Amino acid sequence: MDPAAYKQTWVQPSTLDSLNARIHDGVPVEQLGQRASDRRDLCFEELFPYARPEAGARVLELGPGVGWIMEAMLARYPIGEIVGLDVSPVMIENAKQRWSDPRASYVLYGGLRVPLADNSFDNIYSIATLQHVEKHHAFLVLQELVRLLKPGGHGTVHLLSVHHVRTTGASMEQEAWKHVLNTNTHWMHYYSFDEIVVLFSYGLGVSDLDVKFWGTSFWVHFSKGTNEQFHCDDVDMQTFVKRGVPESIRPRGGRLPLKH
């Protein structure tokens, strides 16, 4: 199995109309602007209002598609510059065809290394993208996003929960065969709460980690170089190995003490 095969479906030739239909679950084009605004507001107004871009902020979106959420971000916040980072020249070409703004630009990258400078963005976000990326690639991409984020900046990403499996209309067996056979279609990867806490806090070494469950998705906030490992104590205490465990026997290395 080629772990980079997930990219095939995003780089194939396509028209703007077919992209709008395929990557937005068939939602009519006249509703896509409102859909983008709703996702923007869920992330930055309802779940993580403390992560709103400030005046003059330099903002990065990973996986912007044809730019609907980038456009919505510029409509609401006093952003100085917004950059769309994508593996697909087809997406970038069609995004530029669909809309333009002097504050918006795009960067093409290979899916792992990002050709941008350390500590160069105040806000980084990604919505409905990383679930399509093979998990080991996704971790390395997230590592790049942490590198690009300024100390004290705000990163927000959307990931699918394992509970989403029951809503797709496809079996887990069908999803598994897509990956094994390198099928040229959307791949889906699912996460659990504990997995996110471990990957972000301990694997990526972020600070101010916050994880919200909404619908069948996880929304994750992170920063770096700040004083707190978690945005609130509930994040760490809701992990499986610590829920309901008295502080006196709370695991330090992820393992509960043996009972005699």
pLDDT value at residue 183: 87
DSSP lists the bridge partners of residue 136 as: none
Q: What is the pLDDT of residues 177-190, one digit of tens each?
A: 988 888 888 888 99
| Per-domain residue ranges of the chain | 5-249
Q: What is the pLDDT of residues 238-247, one digit of tens each?
A: 888 888 777 6
Q: Which CATH number fits domain 5-249: 3.30.450.30, 3.40.720.10, 3.40.50.150, 3.30.1330.10?
A: 3.40.50.150
DSSP codes, 187-213 = ----B-HHHHHIIIIIIS--EEEEEEE
Amino acid of residue 136: H
Distance CA 18, CA 141 (A): 27
Contact 89, 81 (CB under 8 A): no
pLDDT value at residue 90: 94
Tokens of 61: 């979106």
Q: Which residue has the tokens 């993208």?
A: 129
CA-nearest of 190, 227, 188, 222 to 204 is 222
Distance CA 250, CA 256 (A): 7
Strands 149-160 and 121-126: parallel
Q: Which residue has the tokens 């502080």?
A: 247
Contact 188, 131 (CB under 8 A): yes
Q: Which regions of the chain are under pLDDT 50?
A: 254-260
| HSE-CB of 28 using CA atoms within 13 angstroms | 2
pLDDT value at residue 260: 33
Contact 105, 80 (CB under 8 A): no
Distance CA 95, CA 81 (A): 16
For 110-249, strand residue ranges (E) read 121-126, 149-160, 207-214, 217-223
Q: 3-class DSSP state for residue 161? A: strand
pLDDT value at residue 46: 98
pLDDT value at residue 1: 54
Q: What is the dihedral of CA 182, 144, 76, 40, to 10 degrees?
A: 40
**Backbone φ and ψ of 199, nearest 5°:** -65, -45
Instruction: Please provide the distance, in angstroms rounded to a whole number, between the alpha carbons at the two ends of the chain.
Output: 45
Q: What is the pLDDT of residues 208-225, one digit of tens each?
A: 999 999 999 999 999 999
Q: What is the pTM of this model?
A: 0.91
**Backbone φ and ψ of 231, nearest 5°:** -65, -35
DSSP tag of 123: E
Q: What is the pLDDT of residues 61-84, one digit of tens each?
A: 999 999 999 999 999 999 999 999
Contact 152, 225 (CB under 8 A): yes
Distance CA 17, CA 260 (A): 65
